[in-house]
Chains A and B, each alone.
Chain A
Amino acid sequence: MKQYIVRRIGYCLLSLFLLSLTIFFFVRVTGDPATLLVEPGASPDDIAAIHHQFGLDRPLLVQYGLFMASVLTGDLGQSFYYRTSVFELYWSRLPYSVMLATAAMAFSLLLGIPSGILAAVRVGRFWDSAGKVFALLGLSLPSFWVGLVLILVFSVYLGWLPSSGSGTPLHLIMPAFALGWYFAASHMRLTRSSMLEVLGSEYVKLARLKGLPQALVIGKHAFKNALIPVLTLAGINFVIMISVAVVVETVFAWPGVGRLLYEGVAFRDFPVVQGTVLMLGAMTVTVNLIVDILYAVIDPRIRLAS
């Protein structure tokens, strides 16, 4: 198992390296980075100063070295708009994103898992077809449109829920629904196929042969086994949720890192954009690594395989 973990860590580091390289590369390749690094409306003198400050007149390798050096020390630059360190900005906003992702994840599991089980147990019949429709809709409706429609119905017409901002749990309901909708469909599909596989297994057959009541067979034997792949996916999806929440946070003005990214883009605040993307990428890669390691610890087959 140690070998497995070491290898995973190696991949993680390699991915982080490639991530930084990709970001570095694309910034350079789309034009003069100075125009990005400088505030909008700056004079040619400022641009020259930026060239010097960021070493843009030095060889690429040196530039990359400088870039990595500052990144690794947590210096992601200063936001033009907020005038504070991007790093601090990111961490101050992250809790909100985590909150939203948690609520959305809870919703997606509460909706996805039971409907997946229902679809599997009633395979080929009504609930299964309904499930398939649900899965399609989940894939085909953009999350931000779901959010907009929700605002239309619940804020404008019914006046029940607030349409933007944070602060009360009521503020969380619609964004969580809009964000979680796609993942609910994805979790439903996986639950269904996992459940179908488990229902066809020998141990479920034996459980039925033992004369256990149907509810016990499904609720105890099938359920727990079917849930494993789903929870694994959910773990990986959690971080993805934080990243794709950018649109939902924008629609609902929810102060998370997604909205931070949007602000950076809208205000041409390049340090924010670059810093946020770097952090999001690093976070995703790291969490994937943690999930991989947890898997190795929990699943005895991997544990014993080394």
Chain B
Amino acid sequence: MSTSAEILTLPSRPPRFAFLRGLRLSGFPLIPTVILVGIAFVAVFANQLAPHNPEVGSLAARFKPPFWETGGTMKYLLGTDQLGRDVLSRLIFGARVSMVVGITAVIFAGVVGTTLGIISGYLGGWVDQLIMRLVDTWLALPALTFAIFLAAIAGPSMWNIVIILGITYWTRYARVIRGEVLSLKEREFVRLAIVAGCSKWTIMRRHILPNVINSAVVLGTLMLGVVIITEATLSFLGVGVPPPQPAWGLMLSDGKQSLMVGRWWLTIFPGVCIMLMVLSANILGDWLRVKLDPQLRQL
């Protein structure tokens, strides 16, 4: 029996950047989770961690660069802004704003969206049509424009922003959850419950809801990044969380004033913070999506 020993198609070598994949797909994304937990930690213990008061600065110490540049001091590690406020402290307290607003808004949107999605999907009929038309309209208008509009006419306050973000993004949940409910409706255990005489609300609460929680959570992590960017955008445009409370977007807006004279630290650091948080949330969300429910891949 003659055998040619050569392998005749290229054997697959492990790709050189396999570690990137490990970061993202097969293994648990350790670094992003650490980053997110770290930011949460910083947000909670801001009062203890921040070296200075983030809202009050000393005008004598305006525009100090980070400590490693000439003119910088160890007192203000990452420099100061136009009012002499310590950048590092503002970043730390800004983390609190981002975390609180981000998580609350995501939960709010999630609760509203999931509830309406379940109702719409399960009850069907005109309720479904009405809710879906509303969702379609809402989705047609870009979220950012809508959020800006609402923020402009409502008063400036953190909770207003949370509500606005919730109102803007609940539609994403509603659509997806409704789709899931539509297919869940046909499953055995739901039919059994109907035959057993459970009321509609009981079925929705005890049978449908637990099965869509997975998707809602995955969607939540994916939306966290979007919400944070929107919040930063609103702050940047001046309609976000009101000053003097520090928000990363607001810091970027302040920083823009002195960008042209090269005060880079006022722009780079807040942006890096936003990027780290959103990137981590997205990576985690991607991994969750793959792990928890392969059906959600099309999200």
Contact = CB atoms under 8 A, between A and B. Distances in A.
A and B co-occur in one complex: yes
User: Which secondary structure dominates chain A's binding surface?
Assistant: helix
B15 A148 contact: no
Contacts of A129: 15, 17, 20-21
A14 B241 CA distance: 34
Contact of A148 (B137, B144, B252, B275): B252
Contacts, number: 150
Nearest to B144: A244
B274 interface: yes
Interface string A247-261: 100110000000001
Given A36-B153, A142-B233, A148 B260 contact: no
A148 B259 contact: yes
A35 B142 CA distance: 26
* Most chain B CB inside 10 Å of its own CB: which residue of A26, A137, A148, A243: A148
Contacts of B134: 18
A151 B259 contact: yes
B26 to A, nearest CB: 13
Interface residues of A, number: 56
Contacts of A280: 141-142, 145
Contact of A126 (B15, B237, B260): B15
Interface string B241-282: 000000000001001100111101001100100110011001
B5 interface: no
Contact of B153 (A11, A124, A270): A270
24 contacts: A18-B137, A19-B141, A22-B138, A26-B149, A26-B150, A27-B153, A30-B154, A31-B154, A125-B15, A129-B17, A132-B24, A141-B275, A142-B271, A142-B278, A145-B252, A145-B267, A145-B271, A163-B260, A247-B144, A265-B238, A270-B152, A273-B149, A273-B153, A274-B149
Interface of A: 11, 14-15, 18-19, 22-23, 26-27, 30-31, 36, 124-126, 129-130, 132-133, 136-137, 139-142, 144-145, 148-149, 151-152, 155-157, 163, 240, 243-244, 246-247, 250-251, 261-262, 264-266, 270, 273-274, 277, 280-281, 284-285, 288
Interface of B: 12, 15-17, 20-21, 24, 133-134, 136-138, 140-142, 144-146, 148-155, 225, 229, 232-233, 236-239, 252, 255-256, 259-262, 264, 267-268, 271, 274-275, 278-279, 282-283
